[in-house]
Amino acid sequence: MLKPIIRRGKFKAISKVECSSYINTKYNYTVPANSKIVYIPPDMSKISKHTWPDNYKQSIKDEICEYIDWKMIGPWHRMSKLDQKVAYFLAFGEYGPRQDKKILTPQEMLYKMIYTSILFGAFAVCIFNIKKDNDFNKKVDHLKTKLKPENN
């Protein structure tokens, strides 16, 4: 069942004709002509061209993505500048797989330090054991030559 999402904000509502045509094409659902369904998109003014705002929940991000996908079905020149900016961000912005990996959270940094120290510790133990084995092999070879019976 399709539930309308009604938001209060500074954006104007989508007309009933646009909303009903979208619902008809996507969900094969008919909206009665006297319906009072009005969709108001979430606030997109805080989205920069580089990142999502920190306080946006995943559901809001998904709603914005669906809204922009719907707006891009029609002519682009009828989209507002803000919608075009958000569409550009969704297509080319640094989020998801294109996100800058240099920024680590403190938890990620801790895991990375622990993992790296374990790796270097294991490498140091390997080098120590190789050196110890080589010294032991030299001593064994020396004893073999010393204890080897002389055949004259």
Of 12 and 109, more confident: 109
The single-letter code of the amino acid at 47 is I
pLDDT given for residue 15 in this prediction: 47
Helix/strand/coil percent split, the chain, to 5: 55, 0, 45
pLDDT given for residue 62 in this prediction: 87
Residue 28 has pLDDT above 70, yes or no: no
Domain boundaries in the chain?
Answer: 1-40, 44-101, 104-142
- Residue 103 is encoded by which pair of tokens? 């920024």
Residues 54 and 40: their CA atoms lie apart, in Å, by: 22
For range 40-48, the mean pLDDT:
80
Let me know: does 90 contact 68? Beta carbons within 8 Å: yes
Neighbours of 16 (CB within 10 A): 16
Determine whether 84 is exposed, middle or buried from the number of CB atoms within 10 Å of its CB (0-12, 13-18, 19+).
Answer: middle
Q: What is the pTM (predicted TM-score) of this model?
A: 0.44
CA 5-7-12 angle, to 5 degrees, is 110
pLDDT given for residue 10 in this prediction: 45
State the residue for tokens 């070879």. 141
Neighbours of 102 (CB within 10 A): 5
